[in-house]
């Protein structure tokens, strides 16, 4: 058994509408759908009684999903997360327009944590807080600035199709079953 990818990241939020607006309007994630759990589902999934649970499902690119959960128990207080907190430290999104996005977020009053910083390999990033204090990182990587198909097209032409062997993805000529390497 092996992990084949990340299915989703779930974030508990204090105000579901405010947070959904932040992630869609300011960060650019796409709204997918909303789930409202009934009492039996809340107990079966979360082991809670007397709590109303709603979840907004958002799409981040082609393969990422962010689920925003709101637990309404009548008086729950938000908690601000710090970089050194045990548990989720931060959530990172790949972007191709870091400066423009940072300027827009700042103009909307989003708390930016420092200036854009350079990372190994030529990437740049900034950290910010979402409306509930969760730390978000936006990363601009030169390699990912171009559409993926544009980058992969010459590689696929040169090597042939992509296939898997064990847990490593290999790019190379097609291998037919029983052929010797």
Do 68 and 11 share a domain, yes or no? yes
> Is it the case that residue 175 has pLDDT exceeding 80?
no
Distance CA 177, CA 36 (A): 48
For residue 177, what pLDDT is reported? 42
| pLDDT exceeds 90 at position 129 | yes
> With 80 as the cut, is the pLDDT of residue 31 above it?
yes
**Tell me: the pLDDT tens digits for 135-173?**
999 988 876 544 455 455 556 556 654 444 444 444 444
| Structural domain of 93 | 87-145
Lowest-confidence segment of 3-7, 48-52, 89-93, 133-137 by average pLDDT? 3-7
Same domain, 3 and 52: yes
* Average pLDDT score, the chain: 76
| Residue 155 confidence (pLDDT) | 60
Do 104 and 174 fall within a single domain? no
- Reported as a pLDDT band with limits 50, 70 and 90, residue 49 is confident
If asked whether residues 39 and 101 sit together in one domain, one would say no
How wide is the angle at C-alpha 158 spanned by C-alphas 155 and 162, nearest 5°? 60
Check whether residue 124 and residue 171 sit in a common domain.
no
Residue 136 and residue 91 share a domain: yes
pLDDT band at 42 (very low <50, low <70, confident <90, very high): confident
**Would the pLDDT of 11 be above 80?**
yes
CB 69, CB 11: distance < 8 Å: yes
Same domain, 12 and 70: yes
Strands 91-95 and 135-140: parallel
pLDDT at 72 over 90: no
Average pLDDT on 98-127 reads: 88
Whether 60 and 105 map to the same domain: the answer is no
| CATH code for position 27 | 3.10.180.10
Question: In whole angstroms, what is the distance from residue 112 CA to residue 7 CA?
Answer: 28
Q: Same structural domain for residues 135 and 151?
A: no
Question: Is the pTM above the cut of 0.85?
Answer: no
| Residue 33 shares a structural domain with residue 64 | yes
Split into its structural domains, the chain has a count of 3
Q: Are residues 4 and 60 in the same domain?
A: yes
Q: How far apart are CA 172 and CA 162, in angstroms?
A: 6
Residue of 153, 34, 133, 32 lying closest to 83 (CA atoms) = 133
Confidence bin at 181 (pLDDT 50/70/90): very low
């Amino acid at each position: 058994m092996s992990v084949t990818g990340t299915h989703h990241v779930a974030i508990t939020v204090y105000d579901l509408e405010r947070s959904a607006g932040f992630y869609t309007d300011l960060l650019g994630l796409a709204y997918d759908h909303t789930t409202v759990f009934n009492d039996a589902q809340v107990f079966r999934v979360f082991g809670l009684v007397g709590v109303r649970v709603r979840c907004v499902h958002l799409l981040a690119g082609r393969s990422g999903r962010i689920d925003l959960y709101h637990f309404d128990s009548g008086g729950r207080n938000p908690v601000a997360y710090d970089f050194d907190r045990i548990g989720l430290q931060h959530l990172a999104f790949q972007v191709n327009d870091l400066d423009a996005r940072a300027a827009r977020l700042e103009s909307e009053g989003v708390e930016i944590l420092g200036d854009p910083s350079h990372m190994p390999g030529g990437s740049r990033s900034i950290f910010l807080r979402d409306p509930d204090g969760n730390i978000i990182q936006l990363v601009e990587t030169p390699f990912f600035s171009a559409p993926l198909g544009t980058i992969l097209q010459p590689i696929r032409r040169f090597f042939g199709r992509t296939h898997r062997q064990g847990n490593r993805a290999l790019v190379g000529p097609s291998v037919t079953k029983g052929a010797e390497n």
